[in-house]
Amino acid sequence: MTTLVMQNWLYENSPEGSYLLRRDFVPEASYALKDAAAVPTSVDAITSRIASRVGTLSNPRMNTELSEILRQFRFTASDPDLEIDRTAPLEIIDSEDGSVLIEWHFKDRRLGFNIEPEEGQSGWYFAFSRESGGQCGSGTLPSLDMKALLHLILKQPLHR
């Protein structure tokens, strides 16, 4: 399936149908040569709490989703153009409603991933404080564009 890219993906809080869809992901040739050892120490450090929970969630699907979110985050955050040094570690939290939240906190913004007991409801979200513009966005996992999200939350220009 051709990758579809819609304009104004994040900045207009677009409905989910307009998000980037990537169904037949083909890794770059260089990706095949990357392994865990090539991931910068800082990425390991900020994702260690998430990594420690792999395989521990209450059902196989949720564990798969956790692993996939972690994989995509680590891969994308390893981009040397992204400045993640001195950022806080990602947190993983069990909610009373049965969901598991992965969140990355900054002073004026947050990026989150929700892993839900209900199939099809896991996804991503972000929020900026009112003082920082009040942008918010969310979507389900099929619409996840980790590169765009990390560039947005780190306030760094996205080049494709």
Partner 1 sequence: MPSHCLRGLRRKDWVDGTVVQTLAFIPDRTTSGGPADEFHETSINWEDDETVLAFTLDRRLQSEHGVARLSRVQIDSIRQLRTCIGQLEYERKTEDDNPHHGNLLYRKGCTKPLEKMIASALALDAEFIPRVTP
Q: Which residues bind partner 1 (CB under 8 A)?
A: 12-13, 15-16, 91, 93, 95-97, 99, 101, 103, 105, 108-110, 112, 114, 116, 118, 121-130, 134, 136-140
Eight-class DSSP state of 19: S
Task: Pick the closer one to partner 1 by CB: 6 or 136.
Answer: 136
The minimum distance between CB 57 and partner 1, in angstroms, equals: 15
C-alpha span between 93 and 81 (Å, rounded)? 29
What is the closest distance, in whole angstroms, from the C-beta atom of residue 117 to partner 1 in the complex?
A: 10
- What are the structure tokens assigned to 69, written together? 């979110």
Residue 35: half-sphere exposure toward Cβ, Cα within 13 Å: 2
CA distance 138 to 124: 6
Closest to partner 1 by CB, 77 or 126: 126
In angstroms, give the least distance from the CB of 48 to partner 1.
17
- Report in angstroms how near the CB of residue 158 gets to partner 1 at its nearest: 20
* Number of residues assigned to the chain: 160
Which of residues 3 and 121 has its CB atom nearest to partner 1 in the complex? 121
Element (H, E) at 111: strand 109-115
